[in-house]
């Protein structure tokens, strides 16, 4: 996308060239404008009759969605083209054929007029059917054109009521077109069947499924997804971890995706030079029904099996994604060690283990999807900084605070004694 700074720089360059009498090649401006098109987001909202239910923070699901949309519209980045599509908003009757066509563009995808968009949202009232499949097909058409990122954010409180047009198959069809469109789904007060369907829709396009039960959760999650559309697109690299460090792949800094079977481990290797810091994080997605209470462990281990550092997280069935991370700063070599010696990298083994277990009757293969981020950066400047990892260079501030407290105590004690002495004299 073209930022104001880049546009200004291009204009200044053009004026300078004209002033100097230099011919500007016709491709100069084309190169400047040949950047990624603006990202596009289509918010697809379920306005079916079930949205009347009053089980979100004491209000209706529709009221929660409206409040969330208004806050999202206020926070939408200027460079994001945003639209709103509805499903089940207009037809209140019982004719299935008509009800399954009930999807409309409430606000067109394009530059955002916040007042106009909020006015459109205010008119919504829970009405009819839940044609998720037809709405996704239309939303994909809403986002056609341009090379920028494209994202559909679907918010629903129930399953599709227009089968056999299976919305999961619709999502796979959209993904097969190779247009780089991601579908993220959010379930309001979800049930097991809806969770399976919305998870399948998201997984088909590399998106995410999130269950939400409160208005602020809905607002925060939609804001995150809209902001994510404006971020540079980073495509994770497929990698296959091993069952032991010695057989594992060596990773560079980057984003990786893998699958881990239930009850198994995944191992990876990273080379870290003296003076560098390894930062790693992992997320595992429960893309199917799992038993409550689970955990995630990420360990950094030497090639000989000694643990260096670990990151842990636990869940209780209320979340669909669990994440943890770790940091390992490797101290620099001493000056006498560096003379004439090329520093050798240390091989750090990363072990990923989760304790999810599939619910009864649920398939255990393939394994749960995991996303691993590896970043090797320049570490702290000195060994002493490494030793004080966690406080960084804040030791001096801690010392100042201790000294200040000590002096303040002495002064207060002296003043107290002086006041007592004066009181006794009087």
Q: DSSP label at 67?
A: H
Sign of the dihedral defined by the CA atoms of residues 54, 59, 62, 64, in that order: negative
Task: Tell me the HSE value of 367 on the side-chain side, using a 13 A CA sphere.
Answer: 21
Quick count: other Cβ atoms within 10 Å of Cβ 222?
25
3-state DSSP assignment of residue 309 = strand
- pLDDT tens digits, 303-323: 999 999 999 988 876 566 788
Dist CA 169 CA 240 (whole Å): 27
- Regions in the chain scoring below 50 on pLDDT: 1-35, 336, 382-393
Is the Cβ–Cβ distance between 256 and 372 less than 8 Å? Answer: yes
Is the peptide bond between 277 and the residue preceding it cis, with omega within 30 degrees of 0?
no
The whole-model pTM stands at 0.52
Is the Cβ–Cβ distance between 298 and 327 less than 8 Å? Answer: no
- The token duo for 13 is 């360059």
**What angle, rounded to 10 degrees, do the helices at 114-122 and 61-75 form?**
180
Angle CA(182)–CA(225)–CA(67) in degrees, nearest 5? 125
Dist CA 140 CA 150 (whole Å): 9
pLDDT at residue number 215 = 92
In which region does residue 316 sit, left (phi positive, over 0), alpha (psi from -120 to 50) or beta (all else)? alpha
Query: Cα 3 from chain centroid?
Result: 23
All structural domains of the chain, each given as residue ranges with its CATH number in brackets, are 1-31 (no CATH), 36-230 (3.40.50.410), 237-385 (2.60.120.380)
Dist CA 58 CA 49 (whole Å): 18
- The token duo for 369 is 């999807």
pLDDT at residue number 400 = 73
pLDDT at residue number 355 = 93
Q: Which residues of 78-109 are buried (b: 16+ CB within 10 A; e: fewer)?
A: eebbbbbbbbbbbbeeeeeeebbbbbebbbeb
List the strands of the sheet with 237-238, edge to edge: 237-238, 254-260, 368-378, 276-285, 321-329
pLDDT at residue number 110 = 94
pLDDT at residue number 426 = 64
List the strands of the sheet with 40-46, edge to edge: 103-110, 81-87, 40-46, 150-156, 181-188, 209-212
pLDDT at residue number 33 = 35
Residues shown for the chain: 426
**Block residue for tokens 């990420």:** 298
- The token duo for 126 is 């829970």
Helices (H), 108-165: 114-122, 132-142
């Amino acid at each position: 996308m073209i930022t104001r700074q880049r546009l200004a720089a291009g204009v200044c360059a053009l004026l300078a060239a004209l002033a100097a009498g230099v011919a500007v090649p016709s491709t100069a401006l084309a190169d400047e404008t040949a950047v990624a098109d603006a990202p596009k987001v289509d918010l697809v909202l379920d306005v079916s009759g079930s949205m009347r239910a009053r089980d979100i923070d004491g209000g209706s699901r529709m009221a929660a969605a409206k409040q969330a949309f208004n806050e999202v519209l206020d926070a939408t980045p200027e460079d994001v083209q945003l639209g709103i599509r509805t499903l089940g908003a207009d037809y209140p009757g019982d004719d299935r054929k008509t009800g399954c066509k009930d999807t409309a563009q409430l606000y067109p995808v394009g530059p955002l007029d916040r007042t106009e968009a909020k006015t459109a949202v205010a008119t919504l009232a829970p009405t009819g059917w839940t044609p998720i499949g037809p709405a996704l097909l239309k939303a994909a058409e809403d986002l056609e054109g341009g090379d920028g990122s494209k994202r559909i954010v679907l918010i629903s409180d129930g399953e599709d009521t227009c089968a056999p047009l299976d919305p999961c198959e619709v999502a796979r069809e959209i993904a097969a077109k190779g247009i780089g469109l991601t579908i993220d789904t959010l379930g309001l007060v979800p049930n097991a069947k809806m969770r399976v369907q919305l998870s399948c829709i998201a997984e088909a396009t590399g998106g995410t499924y999130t269950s939400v039960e409160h208005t602020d959760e809905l607002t925060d999650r939609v804001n995150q997804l809209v902001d994510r559309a404006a971020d540079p697109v980073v495509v994770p690299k497929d990698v296959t971890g091993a069952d032991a460090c010695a057989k594992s792949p060596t990773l560079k800094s980057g984003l990786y995706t893998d699958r881990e079977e239930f009850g198994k481990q995944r191992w990876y290797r990273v080379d870290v030079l003296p003076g560098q810091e390894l930062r790693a994080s992992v997320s595992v997605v429960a893309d199917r029904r799992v038993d409550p209470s689970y955990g995630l462990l990420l360990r950094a281990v030497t090639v000989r099996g000694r643990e260096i550092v670990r990151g842990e997280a636990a869940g209780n069935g209320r979340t669909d994604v669990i994440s943890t991370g770790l940091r390992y700063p490797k101290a620099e070599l001493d000056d006498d060690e560096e003379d004439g010696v090329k520093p050798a990298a240390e091989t750090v083994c990363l072990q990923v283990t989760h304790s999810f277990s599939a619910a009864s009757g649920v398939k255990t293969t393939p394994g749960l999807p995991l996303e691993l981020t590896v970043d090797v950066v320049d570490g702290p400047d000195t060994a002493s900084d490494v030793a004080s990892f966690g406080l960084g260079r804040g030791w001096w501030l801690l010392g100042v605070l201790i000294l200040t407290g000590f002096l303040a105590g002495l002064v207060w004690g002296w003043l107290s004694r002086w006041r007592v002495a004066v009181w006794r004299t009087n």
